[in-house]
Amino acid sequence: MNKPLILVVEDDRPIRNLISATLKMHDYKFIAVGNGAEAVLEASSHNPDIMLLDLGLPDMDGVDVIKRIRSWSDMPIIVISARSEDRDKIDALDSGADDYLTKPFSVEELLARIRVAQRRLSVVQTDRAASGPLFVNGDLKIDLAAGLVFLGNEQIHLTPIEYKLICLLAANVGKVLTHTFITQKIWGSSWENDIASLRVFMATLRRKLESDPDTKRCIQTHIGVGYRMIRIDPADKEEKEQ
Protein backbone atom coordinates (compact mmCIF):
# COMPACT_ATOMS: atom_id res chain seq x y z
CA MET A 1 0.00 0.00 0.00
CA ASN A 2 1.28 3.43 -0.86
CA LYS A 3 2.08 5.64 2.08
CA PRO A 4 -0.55 8.37 2.00
CA LEU A 5 0.03 12.10 2.28
CA ILE A 6 -1.15 13.38 5.66
CA LEU A 7 -2.11 16.97 6.46
CA VAL A 8 -1.47 17.75 10.13
CA VAL A 9 -3.35 20.77 11.49
CA GLU A 10 -2.32 21.54 15.06
CA ASP A 11 -1.57 24.91 16.63
CA ASP A 12 0.32 23.60 19.65
CA ARG A 13 3.96 23.33 18.62
CA PRO A 14 5.09 20.43 20.90
CA ILE A 15 2.15 18.31 19.81
CA ARG A 16 2.76 19.18 16.17
CA ASN A 17 6.40 18.18 16.66
CA LEU A 18 5.34 14.94 18.30
CA ILE A 19 2.96 14.06 15.47
CA SER A 20 5.48 15.09 12.83
CA ALA A 21 8.23 13.05 14.45
CA THR A 22 6.00 10.01 14.69
CA LEU A 23 4.86 10.26 11.09
CA LYS A 24 8.39 10.81 9.88
CA MET A 25 9.59 7.76 11.77
CA HIS A 26 6.91 5.64 10.12
CA ASP A 27 7.71 6.99 6.68
CA TYR A 28 4.50 8.88 6.13
CA LYS A 29 4.56 11.92 3.91
CA PHE A 30 3.06 14.87 5.70
CA ILE A 31 2.45 18.60 5.71
CA ALA A 32 2.14 20.30 9.10
CA VAL A 33 0.31 23.61 9.50
CA GLY A 34 -0.73 25.64 12.54
CA ASN A 35 -4.07 27.24 11.70
CA GLY A 36 -7.36 26.74 9.88
CA ALA A 37 -6.76 29.10 6.97
CA GLU A 38 -3.49 27.38 6.08
CA ALA A 39 -5.20 24.02 6.49
CA VAL A 40 -7.87 24.86 3.92
CA LEU A 41 -5.22 26.29 1.61
CA GLU A 42 -2.92 23.26 1.88
CA ALA A 43 -5.84 20.86 1.56
CA SER A 44 -6.92 22.47 -1.70
CA SER A 45 -3.44 22.81 -3.18
CA HIS A 46 -1.90 19.47 -2.17
CA ASN A 47 -5.00 17.33 -2.03
CA PRO A 48 -3.79 15.18 0.90
CA ASP A 49 -5.16 11.69 1.53
CA ILE A 50 -5.78 12.00 5.29
CA MET A 51 -6.19 14.99 7.55
CA LEU A 52 -5.42 15.20 11.27
CA LEU A 53 -7.32 18.21 12.57
CA ASP A 54 -7.11 19.78 16.00
CA LEU A 55 -10.50 21.23 16.93
CA GLY A 56 -9.10 24.08 19.02
CA LEU A 57 -7.56 26.27 16.34
CA PRO A 58 -6.74 29.93 16.93
CA ASP A 59 -8.26 31.40 13.79
CA MET A 60 -11.35 29.38 12.97
CA ASP A 61 -13.69 26.72 14.28
CA GLY A 62 -12.54 23.19 13.48
CA VAL A 63 -16.09 22.32 12.42
CA ASP A 64 -15.97 25.09 9.81
CA VAL A 65 -12.72 23.70 8.44
CA ILE A 66 -14.38 20.28 8.08
CA LYS A 67 -17.42 21.75 6.36
CA ARG A 68 -15.29 23.68 3.87
CA ILE A 69 -13.13 20.70 3.04
CA ARG A 70 -16.13 18.39 2.76
CA SER A 71 -17.50 20.69 0.08
CA TRP A 72 -15.02 19.26 -2.37
CA SER A 73 -13.15 16.37 -0.74
CA ASP A 74 -14.10 13.04 0.74
CA MET A 75 -10.74 12.44 2.42
CA PRO A 76 -10.77 10.81 5.86
CA ILE A 77 -10.59 13.45 8.59
CA ILE A 78 -9.47 12.52 12.11
CA VAL A 79 -10.20 15.24 14.65
CA ILE A 80 -8.11 15.73 17.77
CA SER A 81 -9.89 17.13 20.81
CA ALA A 82 -9.55 17.46 24.54
CA ARG A 83 -11.39 14.97 26.68
CA SER A 84 -14.01 17.32 28.05
CA GLU A 85 -15.25 18.46 24.69
CA ASP A 86 -17.70 15.67 23.83
CA ARG A 87 -20.04 18.09 22.15
CA ASP A 88 -17.31 19.39 19.84
CA LYS A 89 -16.41 15.85 18.87
CA ILE A 90 -20.00 14.99 18.04
CA ASP A 91 -20.43 18.20 16.05
CA ALA A 92 -17.26 17.44 14.14
CA LEU A 93 -18.39 13.87 13.39
CA ASP A 94 -21.83 15.07 12.34
CA SER A 95 -20.32 17.60 9.99
CA GLY A 96 -18.28 14.96 8.24
CA ALA A 97 -15.26 13.92 10.29
CA ASP A 98 -14.52 10.19 10.26
CA ASP A 99 -12.82 9.58 13.56
CA TYR A 100 -11.50 11.33 16.62
CA LEU A 101 -8.54 11.18 18.96
CA THR A 102 -8.78 12.38 22.54
CA LYS A 103 -5.93 14.26 24.20
CA PRO A 104 -3.83 12.93 25.79
CA PHE A 105 -3.30 10.17 23.26
CA SER A 106 -0.45 7.73 22.82
CA VAL A 107 1.66 7.42 19.73
CA GLU A 108 0.33 3.89 19.13
CA GLU A 109 -3.20 5.18 19.22
CA LEU A 110 -2.38 7.83 16.65
CA LEU A 111 -0.81 5.30 14.32
CA ALA A 112 -3.71 2.90 14.72
CA ARG A 113 -6.19 5.62 13.76
CA ILE A 114 -4.16 6.49 10.73
CA ARG A 115 -4.16 2.84 9.66
CA VAL A 116 -7.94 2.68 10.06
CA ALA A 117 -8.27 5.78 7.92
CA GLN A 118 -5.92 4.31 5.37
CA ARG A 119 -8.04 1.19 5.11
CA ARG A 120 -11.12 3.27 4.69
CA LEU A 121 -9.28 5.12 1.99
CA SER A 122 -8.60 1.89 0.17
CA VAL A 123 -12.20 0.82 0.65
CA VAL A 124 -13.39 4.09 -0.76
CA GLN A 125 -11.02 3.77 -3.66
CA THR A 126 -11.63 0.12 -4.51
CA ASP A 127 -15.12 -0.71 -3.23
CA ARG A 128 -16.88 2.29 -4.58
CA ALA A 129 -16.84 1.11 -8.14
CA ALA A 130 -17.64 -2.46 -7.23
CA SER A 131 -20.12 -1.79 -4.48
CA GLY A 132 -21.68 -5.13 -5.18
CA PRO A 133 -24.50 -6.84 -3.35
CA LEU A 134 -22.06 -8.59 -1.03
CA PHE A 135 -20.30 -6.89 1.89
CA VAL A 136 -17.43 -8.85 3.40
CA ASN A 137 -15.54 -7.91 6.53
CA GLY A 138 -13.43 -10.72 7.98
CA ASP A 139 -15.87 -13.55 8.71
CA LEU A 140 -18.83 -11.23 8.47
CA LYS A 141 -20.72 -11.38 5.21
CA ILE A 142 -23.78 -9.36 4.35
CA ASP A 143 -25.74 -10.39 1.29
CA LEU A 144 -27.42 -7.09 0.55
CA ALA A 145 -29.50 -8.51 -2.30
CA ALA A 146 -30.97 -11.35 -0.23
CA GLY A 147 -30.93 -9.44 3.07
CA LEU A 148 -28.97 -12.19 4.82
CA VAL A 149 -26.07 -11.99 7.24
CA PHE A 150 -23.47 -14.71 7.67
CA LEU A 151 -20.78 -15.32 10.21
CA GLY A 152 -18.34 -17.64 8.51
CA ASN A 153 -20.64 -20.07 6.76
CA GLU A 154 -23.36 -19.81 9.32
CA GLN A 155 -26.32 -17.56 8.84
CA ILE A 156 -27.16 -15.37 11.83
CA HIS A 157 -30.68 -14.20 12.45
CA LEU A 158 -31.16 -10.51 12.92
CA THR A 159 -34.31 -8.52 13.58
CA PRO A 160 -35.21 -5.95 10.92
CA ILE A 161 -33.77 -3.12 13.03
CA GLU A 162 -30.56 -5.02 13.69
CA TYR A 163 -30.22 -5.68 9.99
CA LYS A 164 -30.72 -2.01 9.18
CA LEU A 165 -28.11 -1.12 11.80
CA ILE A 166 -25.49 -3.53 10.54
CA CYS A 167 -26.04 -2.34 6.96
CA LEU A 168 -25.68 1.28 8.03
CA LEU A 169 -22.47 0.50 9.91
CA ALA A 170 -21.14 -1.58 7.01
CA ALA A 171 -21.86 1.18 4.51
CA ASN A 172 -19.78 3.52 6.67
CA VAL A 173 -17.13 1.06 7.73
CA GLY A 174 -14.22 2.77 9.48
CA LYS A 175 -16.24 5.88 10.23
CA VAL A 176 -17.54 6.78 13.68
CA LEU A 177 -21.31 7.28 13.41
CA THR A 178 -22.90 9.46 16.08
CA HIS A 179 -26.04 8.43 17.94
CA THR A 180 -27.95 11.24 16.29
CA PHE A 181 -26.82 10.21 12.82
CA ILE A 182 -27.82 6.57 13.36
CA THR A 183 -31.19 7.26 15.00
CA GLN A 184 -32.03 9.76 12.29
CA LYS A 185 -31.24 7.16 9.63
CA ILE A 186 -33.13 4.33 11.37
CA TRP A 187 -36.09 6.04 13.03
CA GLY A 188 -36.04 9.48 11.51
CA SER A 189 -35.88 11.06 14.95
CA SER A 190 -33.42 11.26 17.79
CA TRP A 191 -35.31 11.46 21.05
CA GLU A 192 -33.72 10.16 24.20
CA ASN A 193 -35.77 7.01 23.93
CA ASP A 194 -34.44 6.40 20.41
CA ILE A 195 -30.87 6.61 21.67
CA ALA A 196 -31.62 4.24 24.57
CA SER A 197 -33.25 1.85 22.10
CA LEU A 198 -30.22 2.13 19.86
CA ARG A 199 -27.94 1.12 22.75
CA VAL A 200 -30.02 -1.98 23.44
CA PHE A 201 -30.15 -3.00 19.79
CA MET A 202 -26.42 -2.48 19.46
CA ALA A 203 -25.75 -4.56 22.57
CA THR A 204 -27.83 -7.47 21.25
CA LEU A 205 -26.35 -7.14 17.78
CA ARG A 206 -22.85 -7.26 19.20
CA ARG A 207 -23.72 -10.35 21.20
CA LYS A 208 -24.88 -12.09 18.06
CA LEU A 209 -21.55 -11.30 16.42
CA GLU A 210 -19.52 -12.22 19.48
CA SER A 211 -19.66 -15.97 18.89
CA ASP A 212 -16.90 -15.47 16.38
CA PRO A 213 -13.67 -14.24 18.02
CA ASP A 214 -12.71 -12.54 14.80
CA THR A 215 -15.80 -10.34 14.52
CA LYS A 216 -16.12 -9.95 18.27
CA ARG A 217 -14.81 -6.42 18.29
CA CYS A 218 -15.75 -5.34 14.84
CA ILE A 219 -18.34 -2.95 16.24
CA GLN A 220 -16.84 -0.39 18.60
CA THR A 221 -18.82 1.50 21.18
CA HIS A 222 -17.79 5.10 21.73
CA ILE A 223 -19.41 6.11 24.99
CA GLY A 224 -21.28 9.34 24.66
CA VAL A 225 -20.47 9.59 20.96
CA GLY A 226 -21.64 6.69 18.85
CA TYR A 227 -20.59 3.46 17.12
CA ARG A 228 -18.24 2.34 14.42
CA MET A 229 -17.66 -0.80 12.43
CA ILE A 230 -13.98 -1.35 11.82
CA ARG A 231 -12.59 -3.22 8.86
CA ILE A 232 -11.01 -6.39 10.09
CA ASP A 233 -7.51 -6.89 8.79
CA PRO A 234 -6.07 -10.25 9.87
CA ALA A 235 -2.58 -8.78 9.52
CA ASP A 236 -3.27 -6.01 11.96
CA LYS A 237 -3.67 -7.52 15.41
CA GLU A 238 -3.33 -4.21 17.15
CA GLU A 239 -6.53 -3.05 15.62
CA LYS A 240 -8.50 -5.41 17.82
CA GLU A 241 -7.12 -3.75 20.87
CA GLN A 242 -8.75 -0.56 19.80
Partner 1 sequence: MEGVIKLNANGKQKRNAANEHILVCLSSSPSNERVVKTAVRMASVFGSQLTALYVRTPDYETMDPEDRKRLENHIRIAEAGGAETVTTHGDDVSEQIAEYARLSGVTKIIIGINSSRRRRLFFKPTLTERLFELVPGIDVHVIPDTGALGAYYGKKGRFKQSVLPSWKDIAVTAALLAAATGIGLLFQRLGFTDANIITVYLLCVLIISILTRGFACGVMGSFASVILFNYFLTEPRLTLRAYGSGYPVTFAIMLAASIITSTLAAKLKAQAKLSAGDAFRTKLLFDTNRILQGAKDEREILTITASRVSKLLNVDTSVHFADENGLSGGLLFFAGREGSEQALPEGPDFEAAQWAYLNKKQSGMGVKPHKAIKFVYTPIRAGESICGVLGIGAAHRRTDAYEKGIVQSILGECGLAIENLRNAKGREAAAVLAKNEQLRANLLRTISHDLRTPLTSISGNADTLLKNRAMFDDETADRLLSDIRDDAEWLTGLVENLLSISKIGDGSIRLDVSDQIVEDVLEEALRHIDRGSASRTIALETGNEPMLARMDARLIVQVIVNLVNNAVKHTPEGSAITVKAVPDEAFAVISVSDNGPGIPDEWKEKVFEMFFTGDNDVGDSRRSMGLGLPLCRSILEAHGSELILGDNRPSGCIFSFKLPLSEVDLNE
Among 47, 207, 211, 238, binds partner 1 (CB under 8 A): 207
Burial of 196 (0-12, 13-18, 19+ CB in 10 A): exposed
DSSP state of 142: E
Among 223, 234, 235, 237, binds partner 1 (CB under 8 A): 223
CB of 118 to partner 1, least distance (A): 22
CB of 78 to partner 1, least distance (A): 18
24, 42 Cβ separation under 8 angstroms: no
- Stretches 1-9, 10-18, 63-71, 196-204: which one binds partner 1 (CB under 8 A)? 196-204
Write the DSSP assignment of 31-62 as a string of letters. EEESSHHHHHHHHHHH--SEEEEES--SSS-H
Among 104, 133, 213, 234, binds partner 1 (CB under 8 A): 104
Q: Regarding beta strands 140-143 and 226-229, do their DSSP bridges make them parallel or antiparallel, or are they unpaired?
A: unpaired
Q: Give the contact letters, 18-57, x = binds to partner 1 (CB under 8 A), - = no.
A: ----------------------------------------
- Stretches 27-35, 81-89, 92-100, 166-174: which one binds partner 1 (CB under 8 A)? 81-89
Query: Is 66 strand, coil or helix?
Result: helix
